[in-house]
Chain A
């Protein structure tokens, strides 16, 4: 591991989780799988960090949880977005997009000369 993933993902992990939940309620395992599958394992998130983020989002009232049955009929804790969580996701993805855009321009910039 070159860099601790937690470090890399601080701030963006919340956005990823909210995005994952935007298609409906999922349990924590599904969230973890979806992130690692979609990002083709590029965003390796330690599960501990993911759960901590989930529980903190719940504490902030951005997601809510309910116990239900998994695909395999096991008892699992399902998370889903609240209205506030949805708004937060919108705001956060805008912010990240702007950030990524800026980052991208800088990294692809040609040599800069003072005018």
Chain B
């Protein structure tokens, strides 16, 4: 077959021109048959016309036949064509595998690099997808919104609803179809029969409307009815599918039975389906809030909300309507708390309603963080792709002769391009699979060890969309790393003559590789500077004076159900005996109990503070103080210094009515930095409440967050003596114990003390205080770690890329260098000239990288602490690191250049 013919049949194949030839062949075949038959019959003496008739009759329906036969043939051809294509691809891939196995170093390097890039990108994508992109598991989730308030006047954002605002909006807002509010807490849950198996369970108290808003029905049983949600209604509970299976053995008869929740028998009215999470996967049971719409417990803005917009209503329209409705809250509920009018609160706080899509509301601040991590992973993917493109170019150089020969002996440009493409496909395919496995492992590790405060993280897994992403990333890489060599072949840049002459052909590539290296350096600088910024924030955060000593302190929580410890004195007595028991555990130095552990979210309680004489001023809401109940040797255990006055007495002898304040509170209300002047002063927690006397002032502590000023905290004593009927007492408290040994070894012993006192009580959230401090910065630590890993990889890849191009440049210019040295250039000068190119490339890359960083730094801002986004140390460090790497990468090749022996190189040609 001549070349022209193959080309024509090729063209025919491509444009499916085969169809016409199929019909022509069928016609030819039928004609041949008829003609032969006619000739035979005529030979037997029949006339031509009768022979023709007979032949046609014997044949049958000619027209139908033509169609049928052509259809069969077309089918066959199509299949053959596909088979051929598959064969050709399989053959190409086999060739590629063979070729790659011949250069294992390149293959391993390329696969390892691509695997890291694809794996990291895929892992991050699965998190971004699971947390940010997937629709929430509720009916018509696009219509769901969260409604909250910003209070710029007092510097608060994202303040949830109050009962009063909820009832007003529920009854009057027309842009909203339905709205529910909730409050996430914890409860001790056990089967009625076995109170000793109680578990501490995340519990969401919610209005009966909530499940209607979400549009999710129970798997079994019924959702809450309005009648369940009234004050004094029969106690009911909805349970999750997970707790139904794990704690109640998956027994369907649980519906209708009562379980014990904090000592109250609550009838299980339904089981929510698997995959239903609200507000997060941690919540295992739901209980009606039972708010009284006439006289709601108006305490503060405590309840997050979720609402369903009417179709056609936008979040903005809803926010506008809620603003208009806000004055009616004061009309309907004139008193916010006894002694403070709602109007005064509104004037003080100026709440501005905000309505945002629920997904945005639940993912909140993590979105920025995740996109940042995604950007780092994207850059990593780019860098690995660039790096492999670079490696392929080197390999392509080495094989230029081979490819040129192939082309010359008629392999044809498309054939050579296919050859390059199939190698890239094999590399990317293998790396894609490995990358997927890596991503799976990374996601598992992330879900297990990642920061606990990422919403929806439990829903993250590797499934089809993730596989699709990995495949796309792999394809992107495959295209990326074969594009440049393929383009070169396509442009006819290779040829025997060119390669035989050496040198010139490679300059084009050399330039391309220069660009690639500069790009790598740029990405490295950006990622490195970003991770430096976060690392410095992390350092600053950990350098913050805590105000307490977290080392060698073990903590755990225990909660006393009101039903079992009805008398407040019982609760205080329990904690008092617990403190004594724990103190007797060997290895325990001192022990205290507290309603709130520093840097933990549990038990945070902010309240107004009225110094004596100011409580009549209902126009002004005093600054909120962090109220904490403590007992035992709390201050001594956490080493919070008493700066004036005294600490509380032991719980048995401590009197009610005393309080200890932090130095900051003393400063705030009595302008007293020494604390001495505050001693003996009195205050109220409510305008009409009892008076407390300040008996001590203690040092400030970072009670709620590391990133901010210390909290102003007011401590109340746990009191056993019955000397007041109206006092409040904390039932959920943490034990803090200072240990001489490792707190982890003492922890089981001190937890046992609680169970010995009351075996029905679960202990929970056991942690060392140092662990609490670490957990409070877990998110930053995590992002820092991710970025630092990305930075390290890009740095190494950048260095390797730079070294590669420098070494290659020296090889290319060996002759030129030889001549220069022969002409009297000093080896030193030659080395400097060689290194200069590497440094110039790096400098260009660094400049671009700094610009990239300046653009990207705004996105890290929310994560930073004590560092400006343009922190010179971070940027300078990144630039210095890159220049140092560049110097190192240039050093070897430059030295080699200086050692070139002119006589040898000149003889070589």
Q: A interface vs B, CB < 8 Å? A: 27-29, 32-33, 46-49, 51-52, 55-56, 58-59, 67, 70, 72, 74-77
Across the interface, which residues of B come within 8 angstroms of A32, CB to CB? 33
Report whether A77 and B76 are in contact in the complex, using a CB–CB cutoff of 8 Å: no
Report whether A48 and B64 are in contact in the complex, using a CB–CB cutoff of 8 Å: yes
Other-chain residue from B25, B33, B61, B79 in contact with A29 (beta carbon distance below 8 A): B33
Report whether A29 and B68 are in contact in the complex, using a CB–CB cutoff of 8 Å: no
Given contacts A29-B33, A29-B37, 10 further A-B contacts (CB under 8 A): A27-B32, A28-B32, A29-B32, A48-B68, A51-B33, A72-B36, A72-B39, A74-B36, A75-B28, A75-B32
Across the interface, which residues of B come within 8 angstroms of A74, CB to CB? 32, 35-36
Report whether B28 and A77 are in contact in the complex, using a CB–CB cutoff of 8 Å: yes
Report whether A47 and B59 are in contact in the complex, using a CB–CB cutoff of 8 Å: yes
Q: At the interface, yes or no: B69 with Cβ under 8 Å from chain A?
A: yes
Q: B interface vs A, CB < 8 Å? A: 25, 28-30, 32-33, 35-37, 39-40, 58-62, 64-65, 68-69, 72-73, 75-76, 79
CA distance A75 to B28 in the complex (A): 8
Report whether B65 and A52 are in contact in the complex, using a CB–CB cutoff of 8 Å: yes
18 contacts between A and B (CB under 8 A): A27-B32, A28-B29, A28-B33, A47-B33, A47-B59, A47-B60, A48-B61, A51-B65, A52-B72, A55-B69, A55-B73, A58-B73, A59-B75, A59-B76, A67-B25, A72-B36, A76-B29, A77-B25
B427 to chain A, nearest CB (A): 35
Report whether B72 and A55 are in contact in the complex, using a CB–CB cutoff of 8 Å: yes
A20 to chain B, nearest CB (A): 15
Number of A-B contacts (CB under 8 A): 63
The A contact surface, by secondary structure, is helix
Report whether B60 and A76 are in contact in the complex, using a CB–CB cutoff of 8 Å: no
Across the interface, which residues of A come within 8 angstroms of B33, CB to CB? 28-29, 32, 47, 51
Report whether B68 and A52 are in contact in the complex, using a CB–CB cutoff of 8 Å: yes
Across the interface, which residues of A come within 8 angstroms of B59, CB to CB? 46-48
A35 to chain B, nearest CB (A): 12
Report whether A29 and B75 are in contact in the complex, using a CB–CB cutoff of 8 Å: no
Q: B76: nearest residue on chain A (CB-CB)?
A: A59
CA distance A27 to B61 in the complex (A): 20
Q: A58: nearest residue on chain B (CB-CB)?
A: B76
Report whether A51 and B30 are in contact in the complex, using a CB–CB cutoff of 8 Å: yes
A107 to chain B, nearest CB (A): 31
A54 to chain B, nearest CB (A): 9
Across the interface, which residues of A come within 8 angstroms of B72, CB to CB? 52, 55-56, 58-59
CA distance A48 to B76 in the complex (A): 19
CA distance A47 to B62 in the complex (A): 10
Other-chain residue from B28, B39, B40, B58 in contact with A47 (beta carbon distance below 8 A): B58
CA distance A32 to B40 in the complex (A): 13
A31 to chain B, nearest CB (A): 10
> What 10 A-B pairs are tightest by C-beta distance, nearest first?
A48-B60, A47-B59, A55-B72, A59-B76, A46-B60, A48-B65, A29-B36, A29-B33, A77-B29, A76-B32
CA distance A58 to B70 in the complex (A): 12
Report whether A46 and B58 are in contact in the complex, using a CB–CB cutoff of 8 Å: yes
Q: B39: nearest residue on chain A (CB-CB)?
A: A72
Q: B60: nearest residue on chain A (CB-CB)?
A: A48
Contact A51 B29, CB 8 Å, known A29-B37, A46-B58, A70-B36: yes
CA distance A78 to B28 in the complex (A): 12
B252 to chain A, nearest CB (A): 56
B30 to chain A, nearest CB (A): 7
Q: A59: nearest residue on chain B (CB-CB)?
A: B76
Across the interface, which residues of B come within 8 angstroms of A52, CB to CB? 65, 68-69, 72
Across the interface, which residues of A come within 8 angstroms of B39, CB to CB? 72
Across the interface, which residues of B come within 8 angstroms of A29, CB to CB? 32-33, 36-37
Q: B69: nearest residue on chain A (CB-CB)?
A: A55
Contact A77 B65, CB 8 Å, known A47-B60, A55-B72: no
Report whether B68 and A70 are in contact in the complex, using a CB–CB cutoff of 8 Å: no
Q: A71: nearest residue on chain B (CB-CB)?
A: B36
CA distance A56 to B32 in the complex (A): 19
Across the interface, which residues of B come within 8 angstroms of A56, CB to CB? 72
CA distance A33 to B43 in the complex (A): 15
Across the interface, which residues of A come within 8 angstroms of B73, CB to CB? 55, 58-59
Across the interface, which residues of B come within 8 angstroms of A70, CB to CB? 32, 36
A68 to chain B, nearest CB (A): 11
Across the interface, which residues of A come within 8 angstroms of B29, CB to CB? 28, 51, 76-77
CA distance A74 to B72 in the complex (A): 24
CA distance A48 to B61 in the complex (A): 7
A8 to chain B, nearest CB (A): 15
CA distance A50 to B561 in the complex (A): 91
Q: A5: nearest residue on chain B (CB-CB)?
A: B60
A75 to chain B, nearest CB (A): 7
Across the interface, which residues of B come within 8 angstroms of A72, CB to CB? 36, 39
A1 to chain B, nearest CB (A): 11
B331 to chain A, nearest CB (A): 85
CA distance A46 to B61 in the complex (A): 10
B670 to chain A, nearest CB (A): 99
Across the interface, which residues of B come within 8 angstroms of A49, CB to CB? 60
Across the interface, which residues of A come within 8 angstroms of B68, CB to CB? 48, 52
